[in-house]
Amino acid sequence: MSKNEIVVKSGPLKGEIHIPGDKSISHRALLLSALADGPVEINGFLKGADPLETMACLRALGVKIDALSGDKLIVHGISGKFTKPKKPLYVGNSGTTIRILSGILAAQDFECEIAGDASINQRPMKRIVEPLSQMGAQLSGKVEKGQVFPPLKIKGAKLKGIKYKLPIASAQVKSSILLAGLFANGVTEVVEPDQSRDHTERMLKHFGVKIEQTERQIKLAGGQKLKGKTDILVPGDISSAAYLIAAAILVPGSALILRNVGLNPTRIGILEVLRRMGGGVEVLDEELLSEEPRGTLKVTNRKLKGIEIQGSLIPRLIDEIPVIAVLATQAQGDTVIKDARELRVKESDRIATVSGELKKMGVNITPTEDGMIITGGTKLKGTKVKSHGDHRLAMSLSIAGLIAEGKTEIEDTACVETSFPGFFKVLNSVKS
């Protein structure tokens, strides 16, 4: 159901917020728990639309999952011995679900179909079809202009380990290959051009899987079992925290405390960018639980300067680029974002949609083939803008609305439930 949200200029933001569970880790907690040889309790699970699609798919594959109070679940692991689903698996708008789950389905002894909504069915899948086919699985989909799109038909097979060099750094593709590798004969090796988020590798270690790992190379031997009867403590999602961080930095007089924020080194590119731009973010109380670092962030209003963002930093902040673009509108000088072509194939073409919607608010922003150039020092004006069904764009535009003159109306904000249920309620709770 479509829903619009109206945002007006805000006074100082004050208070403490407990950040909801990390979406990427919640997906992996479900999937790896299903591969374990016994029950796994998950605490801090994000009950967002995307992880719930992963849960529904696993239940359709014969996995029993008990939803306890709050953000707790128990997944009764069945060592990855799934049953053939009665109908095609549906992933909604979740690219993580379709790509990573396909790696597991590639090793099953049945054929099934997996698809999603209109957006997912336009997302490229050749990046997983090629390596999984090399391992011995049979995958097919809708072929257009040399690319493969869902729905995907996957016929599982006895897999063999391969060495695969990713053409583009992608945690989803890497994870798909590694989880297929658990069922393969021999060793599976993935080589990345730049290091992408490593939640899968960390969680595999938490379950007792032995892997060899350097910054850009991961190896694991097939046939390893994941140990059940354990707990997973999911940290808060730094991608969700990024919107509140940006709000506190941009709105004069603001000071926010954000608790339980995941601080995985492969995900904190946003903090590095803010330090370079002059933003005030202090990390407190850092600890390591379930192989994932987390801590408290203290954020205060600061003046920013434009910078260049490119290269190996991009995979560590790819999801935060829309809100970084909003921050850049208030920086002194230009901010240049390069090497982010991956934005073209997200929930929307984020290079085009971010640029187009911020232009409506008066921003001097130039889209490029692999990024954008944003001129800072802009006085934003409230107007009617569109989310394009993209949760990260919707939240980024809401942050822009906090500093814009007049009223900002964002069309179709129901998509925000994908990653940050209750986002607008949380945002309003810290407004003065």
Q: What are phi and psi of 296, to 5 degrees?
A: -110, 140
Q: Which CATH class is domain 23-233?
A: alpha beta
Per-residue pLDDT tens over the stretch 159-178: 999 999 999 999 999 999 99
pLDDT value of residue 2: 67
Q: Where are the domains of the chain?
A: 5-21+235-429, 23-233
List residues with catalytic annotation: 319
Which one of 3.10.150.10, 3.20.20.140, 1.10.1370.30, 3.65.10.10 gives the CATH number of domain 5-21+235-429?
3.65.10.10
Return the amino acid letter for 409.
E
Tokens 């829903």, located at residue? 3
**What mean pLDDT do residues 248-273 have?**
97
Nearest CA to 297 among 333, 363, 334, 244? 244
Per-residue pLDDT tens over the stretch 65-82: 999 989 999 999 999 999
pLDDT value of residue 318: 94
**What mean pLDDT do residues 380-390 have?**
97
Q: Would you say residue 285 has pLDDT above 70? A: yes
Q: Would you say residue 1 has pLDDT above 70? A: no
> DSSP characters for 206-247?
HTT--EEE-SSEEEEETTPPBP-SEEEEPPBPHHHHHHHHHH
5-21+235-429 and 23-233: same fold? yes
**What mean pLDDT do residues 208-226 have?**
95
pLDDT value of residue 281: 94
Instruction: Provide the pLDDT confidence category of residue 432 given band limits of 50, 70 and 90.
Output: confident
Per-residue pLDDT tens over the stretch 31-66: 999 999 999 999 999 999 999 999 999 999 999 999
Q: Would you say residue 9 has pLDDT above 90? A: yes
Instruction: Provide the pLDDT confidence category of residue 346 given band limits of 50, 70 and 90.
Output: confident
Q: Would you say residue 113 has pLDDT above 70? A: yes
Q: How many Cα neighbours within 13 Å face the side chain of 79? A: 4
Per-residue pLDDT tens over the stretch 173-203: 999 999 999 999 999 999 999 999 999 999 9
Q: Would you say residue 250 has pLDDT above 60? A: yes
Q: Would you say residue 257 has pLDDT above 80? A: yes
How many percent of the chain have pLDDT more than 90?
95
Contact present, 9 and 404 (Cβ < 8 Å): yes
Per-residue pLDDT tens over the stretch 135-148: 999 999 999 989 99
pTM: 0.94
Cβ within 8 Å of residue 270, ≥6 positions away: 238, 242, 245, 317, 320, 324
Q: Would you say residue 120 has pLDDT above 60? A: yes
